[in-house]
């Protein structure tokens, strides 16, 4: 085909190559900082692809899995309102309405009016939804254990700690401006 010069398929640049170019193009760049944020971004994209394959194999989407997770995390009896769900998942209420439509049709959740406050709606996990969550969770933990395989227990602790600190920091920044 075209100009396959022998060794350049499509060649996504490696992290270090990417940072080297950035430094050429943008002098006051801290390569250490850039390495952290670029790795975070790439890592997350790849992880989402991996999760997507697993959930697809179970007949649900990543989007639906997010909803199942939020409901389980809310604890028994696994009920939340659409707005609350939307806030946690970073969606608009409109998107949440549609997502709940689909998941209701698939039997993963039920939707009913709150009789004690008729403006509200209660989304509740069904047994099937809970079981799907469990299946997805099992697959996810296998993958996650695999992912962290090269890190010692001590390193995992340090990593978790540092990421938590970044998370606190970003929430702080969010709150201010």
With tokens 């994209």, the residue in question is 45
**For residues 136 and 69, what is the distance between their CA atoms, to the nearest angstrom?**
10
Closer Cβ to its own copies, 33 or 56, answer by number: 33
Size of the site for its own copies (CB under 8 A): 74
Residue 156 makes contact with its own copies by CB under 8 A: yes
112 binds, among DNA, its own copies, none (CB under 5 to 8 A by kind): none
Q: Which stretch binds its own copies (CB under 8 A): 55-63, 94-102, 103-111, 151-159?
A: 151-159
**For residues 61 and 98, what is the distance between their CA atoms, to the nearest angstrom?**
14
The two tokens of residue 90 are 């970073």
Sole binder of DNA in the list 102, 110, 135, 143 (CB under 7 A): 102
The two tokens of residue 27 are 């002098």
Q: Which stretch binds DNA (CB under 7 A): 80-88, 142-150, 153-161, 164-172?
A: 80-88
**For residues 61 and 63, what is the distance between their CA atoms, to the nearest angstrom?**
5
Closer Cβ to DNA, 116 or 153, answer by number: 116
Residue 49 makes contact with its own copies by CB under 8 A: yes
Residue 32 makes contact with its own copies by CB under 8 A: yes
Q: Which stretch binds its own copies (CB under 8 A): 55-63, 92-100, 104-112, 158-166?
A: 158-166
12: which DSSP letter? P
Asked if 117 and 123 touch (Cβ cutoff 8 Å), the reply is no
Exposed e or buried b per residue across 37-48, where buried means at least 16 C-beta atoms within 10 angstroms of its C-beta? ebeeeeeeeeee
Residue 163 makes contact with its own copies by CB under 8 A: yes
Residue 47 makes contact with DNA by CB under 7 A: no
Asked if 172 and 165 touch (Cβ cutoff 8 Å), the reply is no
List of residues contacting DNA (CB under 7 A): 1-2, 61, 63, 81-84, 90-100, 102, 111, 117-121
């Amino acid at each position: 085909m075209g100009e396959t010069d022998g060794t350049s398929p499509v060649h996504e640049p490696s992290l270090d190559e990417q940072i080297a170019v950035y430094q050429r193009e943008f002098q006051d760049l801290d390569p250490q900082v850039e390495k952290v944020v670029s790795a975070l971004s790439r890592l997350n994209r790849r992880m989402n692809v991996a999760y997507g394959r697993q959930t697809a194999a179970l007949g649900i989407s990543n989007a639906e899995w997010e909803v199942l997770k939020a409901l389980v995390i809310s604890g028994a009896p696994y009920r939340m309102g659409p707005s609350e769900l939307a806030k946690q998942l970073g969606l608009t209420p409109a998107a949440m309405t549609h997502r709940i439509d689909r998941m209701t049709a698939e039997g993963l959740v039920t939707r009913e009016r709150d009789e004690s406050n008729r403006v509200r709606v209660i989304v509740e996990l069904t047994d099937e939804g809970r079981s799907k969550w469990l299946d997805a969770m099992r697959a996810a933990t296998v993958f996650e254990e695999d992912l962290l395989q090269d890190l010692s227990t001590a390193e995992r602790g340090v990593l978790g700690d540092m990421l938590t600190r970044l998370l606190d920091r970003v929430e702080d920044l969010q709150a201010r401006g």
